[in-house]
Every structure is written in structure tokens, then in C-alpha cells.
């Protein structure tokens, strides 16, 4: 037989190969299932190395194996909804407080409040953290990280403008900003990132809460038009952009990250940014105003307070895991390992803080010497804790939050760019809220 003939694929060979390939394809899910881990964990792509090392310690301690997957935060909700609907194996996952009602109502995640070991950690958590993990009177997880919207200022610019300290009210923000404009210190002293992205509701909520406003009442009905703080907050932004010109009209295209870059490059004197960014802002390698950035209490509106918005990300348990006693027990162990104590200490939250500066909602960590030392190198830990105590849970987090949020963001942007006035924008947002609430 020639060499060519030996390598030629005959009909029998073809059929044999095809059959083998088909059999392998059919057998693959079974093979994969046979190698399946004890716990399936899904997170967004943050602190991946820290998570993996903490998981390795968990497996070494308990002998339980964990199948860990992650996807970018921007696509996380879509990816998780697809997994839930498609019945993908899931036991523990990171959950944002913004999705809690939606996922709970759909029956995708389960409460953990019947587990006394996990619930014992509430005693050491900030109230707004526990509240943010609670929906319909049931608690759905333990804290992964929490943070709040902070008000930062460039102390050098404030001093150069002739002021002794940072503004304490939104009116003083305008006053100091106008002085800075007049002295040529900054063209747009206040940085506000109002681009249509997931951060927008956090900025809006901080403005509204500090103006003494609420979006909804205790029953979840809209009070946007009757609560003066909402319209006052939006009107303040509209005036700051169009009348005083202390905020750039480009704010509607500025996202949180670009806003951070603009502030850290020294373009502005004041900024509303997530508190955990303080480390970046005072890092000489990443910020040209490092050392000058200080945190002040959130300025107040005429009828407001120093309140701000806080948010939570937490470790939740899938309903599928909760339905199986063994899976539920294993998952609870993993939740405690990450959201509670591991070997007697809040190891993961501390690692996360030291690694990426992520905030925590566990009060004893504020007394941890390592954490105080880290905070002291770039911030005022007492100020940080004082502002955190005034953080409020977003009152718009409902099963219809996603739909409303899209329109609310557009309405605020429309008012800022002059397409409509503040009252009409707030009314449009309020009307949609009522419509969606009725529909649900």
C-alpha cells in the first residue's frame, strides 16, 4: 500500500471518527459533572487574586472545592440573569443592593436569615449595610464591601481662593466656586459626573439626600414632586451648570472614571466621588494633586443635612442552593468565610481594603491598627467614619428600579442640558415610578 493510501481517510474511518466524536460530545457534560465542585461561586471581576487566595484557604480549611467564575461588572447583571434563567449551577454570588428586589422577587436568591451563625454578624455591621441587604423583611446576605458618596476638595485651591475651610452647604460651594473662577483658579471648580451610567443614581441620590429629599415614602410611593429636596437638588445642578457655570456642561458626558481623572489632574477644586477613591486621589503616582485632597462632610441643601448615599455589595445564596440542605450548609460556610470571619477575623474585608481600598460596613475594622494606619496615610479616618454614619440606603431599589433608573437619568440630563425644566423632569420621573409600581 502506498504512503498516500495509508493516510487517505476511508469511508469506514470517517464513520468511526464521526461516531467517536459524537459519543465524546454527548459524554462531555457527564464527564464535567463528574468533576463538579462542591460550591459554585460567581463574582464580578474585582480583586480576583485576593478572592482566589482566600478560596484556596477555604478549601484547605474545609476540604470543600469551589468552582469560581467571574465576569465584568458592566455585564454582570445580564450574565447572572442568563445563568439564573438557564439553570446554571450557582450557589454563592456577589449581589448589588440595586438588584436585590429584582432577584428576590424572581426567586433566584434566598434569604439567609434563618442561619443564626450568619445573622450574628449583624451586631457588628453598620445599620445601612444590614438594611441594604434586606428586602421584604428578609436578609439576603453578608457584606462584601460597602461605600458611600463623599465630597472631596483640593485644600490648596480653597486656601488660594481665600477661604479658611471647605464649604459646608451647597450655597457655599457656589460661593467658593465663583471666587475661584474670578481668580482664575479653575474654570469649572465643581466636578460632577452625570453621564448615563450605573454611577448616576448614586450621584443623584447623594444630592437629593443632602438636600433633605426622598424619592419614595415608607410605602414605596413616589414623593418626588412633594419632597422639595428632589427638585431643589436638580435645580442646584441646573443652575450650577447653566447660570453659575461652576460645573462643566460636559458633565452629562462625564462618567465616574473620567471625572476622577479630571479631578486628580487638578482641573477642579471640588468633587463628588466614591469615598474609596480617596486613596487614588492622594497617591502621587496617580494624582497630580496628591496630598491636597481632603474629605469634607457632604454639603447641605437649605432644608437638608450632611446625609449621603451608601451602597452595598454582598455575598448572597442562590435559591437552588438553599433548596438543598447540603449545598445550603456548604454555601453558608463560604458566605461566612468571605462576609463574616475566617479563622476568627474579618480577613477578606481587610484584605480587600488593603488591596484596593474598598470600604467595609463592619464597624470593628475601623479600630484595626493596619486599617487605621492605611487610612491615616491618605485620609482622616474619623471623618470617614462620621460620614459613613450618615449614609442612607437608596430608597428607589425595587423590582422596577432598572426601568425607572434609565428614565430618571435621562430626565435629569434633559433638565441639565436645558431640554426641560427641573419641575417637569422630576414630574416625568415621578409619573413613571407610579406607573411601574402600579404595574408590578
Partner 1 sequence: MTATDIPHTRKRGVWDRIGYEERSALVFLAPVMAVLMAVAVFPILYSFYISLFRIKLTRPNRQPFIWFENYTDLLGDHEFWMSVGRTVTFTVTSVAAIAVISLLIALLLNEQFRGRRFLSTILLIPWAIPYVANALMWKWIYDSGYGALNGVLYQLDFIDKYMVWLGDQDKTLMLIANAFVWKEVPLATILLLVTLKSIPDDLYAAARVDGATVWQRFVHVTLPAMRPGFMLVMIYETMMAIRHFDLFFVLTEGGPGSASHVLSWHIYVETFRNLSFGSGAAMSYVLALATFGLSYFFIRTLGRRM
Q: CA 125, CA 72: separation in Å to the nearest integer? A: 27
Identify residues 292-331 at the interface with partner 1 (CB under 8 A): none
Please report the sign of the dihedral spanned by the C-alpha atoms of residue 166, residue 232, residue 387, residue 241: negative
Classified as helix, coil or strand, 315 is strand
Contact track, partner 1, 138-177, x by CB under 8 A: ----------------------------------------
DSSP state letter for 298 = P
Contact track, partner 1, 254-273, x by CB under 8 A: x---x---x----x------
- Tell me which of 38, 97, 102, 395 binds partner 1, using CB under 8 A: 102
In the bound complex, what is the minimum distance in angstroms from residue 29's beta carbon to partner 1? 17
In the bound complex, what is the minimum distance in angstroms from residue 50's beta carbon to partner 1? 28
Q: CA 315, CA 334: separation in Å to the nearest integer? A: 9
Residue 77 or 157: the one with the smaller Cβ distance to partner 1 is: 77
Which grid cell sits at 29? Answer: 457534560
3 CB-contact burial (10 Å; exposed 0-12 / middle 13-18 / buried 19+): exposed
* Closest to 404 measured CA to CA, from 383, 428, 369: 428
Of the candidate spans 123-131, 174-182, 192-200, 374-382, the one that interacts with partner 1 by CB under 8 A turns out to be: 192-200
Measured in degrees and rounded to the nearest 5, phi and psi for residue 26 equal -65, -30
- Tell me which of 253, 324, 355, 376 binds partner 1, using CB under 8 A: 253
Residue 200 or 300: the one with the smaller Cβ distance to partner 1 is: 200
In the bound complex, what is the minimum distance in angstroms from residue 84's beta carbon to partner 1? 8
Does 403 participate in binding partner 1 (rule CB under 8 A)? yes
In the bound complex, what is the minimum distance in angstroms from residue 252's beta carbon to partner 1? 4
Does 107 participate in binding partner 1 (rule CB under 8 A)? yes
Of the candidate spans 193-201, 303-311, 330-338, 386-394, the one that interacts with partner 1 by CB under 8 A turns out to be: 193-201
Does 431 participate in binding partner 1 (rule CB under 8 A)? no
DSSP state letter for 286 = T
Residue 253 or 376: the one with the smaller Cβ distance to partner 1 is: 253
Q: How many residues does the chain have?
A: 440
Q: Which helix (H) or strand (E) holds 414?
A: helix 401-416
Q: CA 244, CA 242: separation in Å to the nearest integer? A: 6
Classified as helix, coil or strand, 216 is strand
In the bound complex, what is the minimum distance in angstroms from residue 407's beta carbon to partner 1? 9
- Tell me which of 37, 57, 81, 390 binds partner 1, using CB under 8 A: 81
Does 370 participate in binding partner 1 (rule CB under 8 A)? no
Measured in degrees and rounded to the nearest 5, phi and psi for residue 128 equal -65, -25
Does 106 participate in binding partner 1 (rule CB under 8 A)? yes
- The secondary structure of 89-152, three-state, reads CCCEEEEECCCHHHHHHCCCEECCCCCHHHHHHHHHECHHHHHHCEECCEECEEEEEEEEEEEE
Measured in degrees and rounded to the nearest 5, phi and psi for residue 366 equal -65, -20
Of the candidate spans 100-108, 270-278, 319-327, 362-370, the one that interacts with partner 1 by CB under 8 A turns out to be: 100-108
Of the candidate spans 162-170, 223-231, 290-298, 411-419, the one that interacts with partner 1 by CB under 8 A turns out to be: 411-419
Does 103 participate in binding partner 1 (rule CB under 8 A)? yes
Please report the sign of the dihedral spanned by the C-alpha atoms of residue 410, residue 188, residue 207, residue 122: positive
Classified as helix, coil or strand, 393 is coil
- Tell me which of 72, 136, 249, 291 binds partner 1, using CB under 8 A: 249
21 CB-contact burial (10 Å; exposed 0-12 / middle 13-18 / buried 19+): exposed
Of the candidate spans 45-53, 65-73, 103-111, 145-153, the one that interacts with partner 1 by CB under 8 A turns out to be: 103-111
Q: Which helix (H) or strand (E) holds 11?
A: helix 11-34
Residue 184 or 369: the one with the smaller Cβ distance to partner 1 is: 184
- Tell me which of 419, 423, 424, 434 binds partner 1, using CB under 8 A: 419
Residues that bind partner 1 (CB under 8 A): 78, 81, 85, 102-103, 105-107, 187, 195-197, 248-254, 258, 262, 267, 399, 402-403, 406, 409-410, 413-414, 416-417, 419
Amino acid at each position: 500500500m502506498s504512503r498516500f493510501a495509508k493516510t487517505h481517510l476511508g469511508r469506514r474511518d470517517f464513520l468511526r471518527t464521526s461516531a467517536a466524536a459524537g459519543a465524546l460530545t454527548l459524554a462531555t457534560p457527564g464527564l464535567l459533572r463528574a468533576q463538579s465542585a462542591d460550591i459554585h461561586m460567581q463574582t464580578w471581576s474585582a480583586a480576583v487574586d485576593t478572592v482566589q487566595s482566600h478560596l484556596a484557604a477555604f478549601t484547605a480549611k474545609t476540604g470543600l472545592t469551589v468552582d469560581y467564575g467571574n465576569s465584568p461588572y458592566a455585564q454582570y447583571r445580564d450574565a447572572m440573569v442568563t445563568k439564573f434563567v438557564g439553570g446554571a449551577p450557582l450557589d454563592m454570588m456577589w449581589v448589588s443592593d440595586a438588584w436585590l428586589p429584582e432577584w428576590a422577587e424572581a426567586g433566584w436568591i434566598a434569604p439567609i436569615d434563618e442561619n443564626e451563625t450568619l445573622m450574628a454578624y449583624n451586631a457588628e455591621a453598620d445599620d445601612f449595610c444590614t438594611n441594604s441587604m434586606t428586602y421584604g423583611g428578609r436578609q439576603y446576605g453578608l457584606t462584601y464591601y460597602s461605600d458611600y458618596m463623599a465630597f472631596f476638595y483640593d485644600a490648596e485651591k480653597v486656601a488660594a481662593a481665600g477661604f479658611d475651610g471647605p464649604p459646608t452647604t451647597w450655597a457655599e460651594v457656589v460661593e467658593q466656586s465663583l471666587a475661584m473662577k474670578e481668580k482664575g483658579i479653575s474654570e469649572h471648580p465643581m466636578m460632577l459626573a452625570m453621564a448615563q451610567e450605573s454611577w448616576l443614581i448614586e450621584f443623584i441620590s447623594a444630592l437629593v439626600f443632602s438636600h433633605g429629599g426622598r424619592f419614595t415614602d415608607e410605602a414605596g410611593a413616589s414623593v418626588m414632586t412633594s419632597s422639595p429636596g428632589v427638585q431643589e437638588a436638580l435645580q442646584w445642578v441646573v443652575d450650577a451648570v447653566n447660570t453659575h457655570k461652576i460645573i462643566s456642561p460636559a458633565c452629562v458626558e462625564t462618567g465616574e472614571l473620567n471625572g476622577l481623572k479630571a479631578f486628580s489632574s487638578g482641573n477642579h477644586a471640588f468633587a463628588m466621588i466614591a469615598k474609596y477613591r480617596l486613596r487614588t486621589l492622594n497617591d502621587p503616582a496617580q494624582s497630580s494633586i496628591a496630598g491636597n485632597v481632603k474629605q469634607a462632610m457632604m454639603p447641605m441643601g437649605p432644608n437638608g443635612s450632611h446625609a449621603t448615599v451608601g451602597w452595598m455589595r454582598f455575598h448572597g445564596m442562590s435559591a437552588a442552593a438553599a433548596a438543598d440542605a447540603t449545598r445550603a450548609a456548604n454555601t453558608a460556610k463560604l458566605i461566612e468565610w468571605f462576609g463574616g470571619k475566617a479563622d476568627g477575623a474579618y480577613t477578606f474585608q481587610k484584605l480587600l481594603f488593603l488591596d484596593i481600598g474598598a470600604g467595609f460596613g463592619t464597624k470593628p475594622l475601623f479600630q484595626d491598627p493596619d486599617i487605621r494606619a492605611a487610612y491615616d496615610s491618605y485620609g482622616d479616618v474619623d471623618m470617614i467614619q462620621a460620614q459613613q454614619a450618615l449614609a442612607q440606603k437608596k430608597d428607589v431599589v425595587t423590582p422596577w428600579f432598572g426601568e425607572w433608573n434609565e428614565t430618571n437619568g435621562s430626565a435629569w440630563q434633559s433638565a441639565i442640558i436645558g431640554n426641560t425644566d427641573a419641575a417637569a423632569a422630576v414630574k416625568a420621573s415621578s409619573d413613571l415610578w407610579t406607573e411601574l409600581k402600579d404595574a408590578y
